[in-house]
Amino acid sequence: MGYGTAKVLKGLGATVIITGRRQDAIDQAAQELGVDAILSDQGKLEDIDSLVSQVNEKYGKIDILYINAGISGTSSIELEKPENFDTMMNINFKGVFFTLSKFIPYLNDGASVVVLSSVLATTISPGLAVYSASKAAVNSFVKTAALELASRKIRVNSISPGAIDTELFSKMGMDTETLNGMTDYLISLTPIGRIGKPEEIGQLVAFLSSDEASFITGSDHIIDGGSTLL
């Protein structure tokens, strides 16, 4: 979804900087998209500090901050391991919180902040207690940030996708057969009859960052093909 969003924003004329914790992946993406890349792990506060410093030194203040890094994993509450809990919360919530916190002095007045959440912040799925909790925390934090930054006309919103065609499931270790089965299952749960495209997330980020959305802040935007209606 980060790649799709970078592609959309680049196409609209924005100067785009992408980040990630795998140098080979961000280098390849940067070359394909024609954007700049900075190595940064959202789960590490020292990396966030370095990212903020590098962006400020090279580009100055920014107009759009899209925070989308996240990880998932399945485990029952009974069997959840503290180290897995900490890793997921560090990336999905703590990293999101401090990425915004540390970038606030370098946001232009009137800037747009968009944070990637999930429909699982408000729906229930066994085995995903920690992931869902991390996204619910994001949704709450976004509302507070919107109030705190309103005096500077900085808008803060979240996007909650349903099933989107990304590498997430393959990163969770699923083989091709399992991955295809999961995709078919997710399609069966989506009234619109397909899963979403990363560029569709990017189009929503672009809209929320545009002048046409200047009266929208502190809100969560579900983009799920109708799956949460079932």
196/199 Cα distance (integer angstroms): 9
Q: Are 145 and 156 in contact (CB under 8 A)?
A: yes
Catalytic residues: 131
DSSP SS3 for 192: coil
Q: Are 36 and 16 in contact (CB under 8 A)?
A: yes
Per-residue DSSP letters for 132-151? HHHHHHHHHHHHHHHHHHGG
Q: Are 161 and 197 in contact (CB under 8 A)?
A: no
